[in-house]
């Protein structure tokens, strides 16, 4: 075994350290539903939702779930029942939320692409955020004389990598703060009243960063006398791995609340606050149950590999970010085993299909200390509720989409998306005759 490489050494005799599932539940899911299968825990999802709803605020709060994190209708209905609204990143997401039964007035589209059916969605009562000057012009043509929301890039962002940073000069999201005069001119041309401002800095958990960005956003809101709502976006850091910190939303909220109160004193406006958590609600409410299909090695100076019947098809984040997910081997029958250092490899014919990269570096490997693996064992990937099913490399190597099940509060499991079939993969293809 190579030395000098970073390793994550954790006692992996049981997954209880990081997951809502017991070893026995994992085995039952493996037998009843097959693998790979996503499992979502209603209890965890609702607990995180309640924490978000308790975000400190000065003059009212709307929590919008960033549904791009996990878009299953069952999940949308759970958050909707809690009084959490929806942040949609495309017209398709908005339509999907409508089909799940979310009231149109609780859905707000904030998208890079202007929805082709925007007029229809607006007619239904869906809210819209203009994310560029072009989008603001298009909205003005559809709804002259109405209220409007614009997304502004305040010039500052935060994230664990540039790929998760949605603010600052390296991000294309929103109207650059230096172009607001042109946005005002467009608003005047179409007699729009800009009543809502949206900003989003990326991912992080430092209250001081949030406070700096909130102050920048409040300075922008001060330029628009009709603004009554300020949306600070989401990106609240969630610790998936043991030892990783999760954002203290109470501390962040308290830091921001004082600035909203100061704004009210200085400008005579009590702004309503909106936030848009996605990962914060869903990440640790999900796990992926897989099966060990092979165990191989590359000699005494190489690595031990666990091959599983899943991989980047279901969990892409490690391959593109070097993102870290907790992993555990669950023996097929209850027993005590020794431990080994392993690289966990996916089933795709792709050298980057690795679930154990070096943190933040998808080009390097970081072996994990896991229970000794045997073919047929279960392997569980934790922290798989956000940006896994929703962001997977679906159908690469023609593997079908994995099913999703919900672990309800009463302990029962419910199939909320069936496993895809080959016929479903092929159904939209139209072969031509030779």
Residue 38, preceding bond cis, omega within 30 degrees? no
| Burial letters 241-276, b for 16+ CB under 10 A, else e | beeeebbbbeebbebbbebbeebeeeeebebbbbbb
Helix and strand numbers, DSSP H then E, in the chain: 12, 21
Rounded CA-CA distance 211/279 in Å is 20
Q: Which of 149, 213, 348, 349 is catalytic?
A: 349
Decide: 381 and 287 in contact? Cβ < 8 Å.
yes
131 is catalytic: no
Beta strands, E only, 32-126: 37-41, 61-66, 85-88, 107-110
**HSE, side-chain direction, 13 A CA sphere, residue 241:** 13
The residues facing 40 across adjacent strands are: 286, 406
Cross-strand pairs, 287: 39
Distance separating alpha carbons of residues 85 and 253, to the nearest angstrom: 19
CB atoms within 10 A of CB 416: 16
Beta strands in 219-320 (DSSP E): 229-231, 272-275, 286-297, 304-308
Query: Dihedrals φ, ψ of 354, to 5°?
Result: -130, 130
Active site residues: 349
């Amino acid at each position: 075994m190579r030395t000098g490489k970073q390793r994550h050494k954790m006692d992996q005799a049981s997954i209880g350290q990081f997951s809502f599932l017991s070893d026995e539940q994992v085995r039952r899911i493996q037998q009843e539903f097959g693998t790979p299968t996503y499992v979502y825990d209603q209890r965890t999802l609702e607990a995180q939702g309640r924490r978000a709803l308790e975000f400190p605020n000065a003059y009212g709060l709307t929590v919008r779930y960033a549904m791009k994190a996990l878009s299953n209708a069952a999940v949308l209905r759970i958050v909707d029942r809690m009084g959490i609204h929806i942040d949609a990143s495309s017209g398709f997401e908005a339509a999907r939320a409508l089909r799940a039964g979310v009231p149109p007035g609780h859905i707000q589209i904030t998208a890079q692409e202007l929805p082709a059916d925007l007029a229809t969605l607006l007619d239904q009562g869906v809210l819209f955020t203009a994310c560029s000057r072009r989008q603001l012009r298009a909205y003005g043509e559809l709804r002259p004389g109405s209220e409007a929301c614009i997304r502004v890039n305040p010039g500052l962002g935060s994230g664990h990598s540039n790929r998760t940073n949605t603010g600052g000069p390296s991000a294309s999201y929103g109207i650059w703060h230096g172009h607001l005069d042109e946005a005002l001119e467009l608003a005047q041309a179409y007699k729009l009243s800009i009543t809502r401002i949206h900003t989003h800095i990326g991912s992080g958990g430092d209250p001081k960063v949030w406070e700096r960005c909130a102050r920048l956003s409040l300075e922008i809101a001060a330029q628009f006398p009709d603004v009554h709502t300020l949306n600070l976006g989401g990106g609240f850091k969630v610790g998936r791995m043991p030892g990783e910190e999760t954002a203290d939303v109470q501390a962040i909220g308290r830091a921001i609340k004082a600035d909203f109160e100061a704004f009210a004193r200085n400008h005579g406006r009590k702004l309503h606050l909106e936030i848009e958590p996605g990962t914060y609600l869903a990440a640790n409410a999900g796990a992926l149950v897989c099966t060990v299909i092979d165990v191989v090695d590359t000699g005494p100076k190489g690595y031990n590999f666990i091959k599983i019947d899943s991989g980047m098809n279901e969990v892409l984040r490690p391959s593109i970010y070097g993102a870290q997910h907790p992993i555990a081997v669950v023996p097929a029958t209850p027993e005590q085993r020794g431990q080994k250092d392993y690289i966990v490899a996916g089933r795709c014919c792709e050298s980057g299909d690795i679930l154990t990269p070096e943190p933040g570096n998808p080009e390097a490997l970081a072996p994990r200390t896991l229970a000794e693996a045997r073919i047929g064992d279960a392997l569980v990937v934790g922290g798989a509720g956000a940006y896994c099913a929703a962001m997977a490399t679906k159908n690469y190597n023609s593997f079908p989409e994995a099913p999703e099940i919900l672990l309800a509060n009463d302990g029962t499991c419910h199939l909320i998306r069936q496993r895809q079939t080959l016929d479903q993969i092929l159904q939209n293809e139209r072969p031509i005759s030779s």
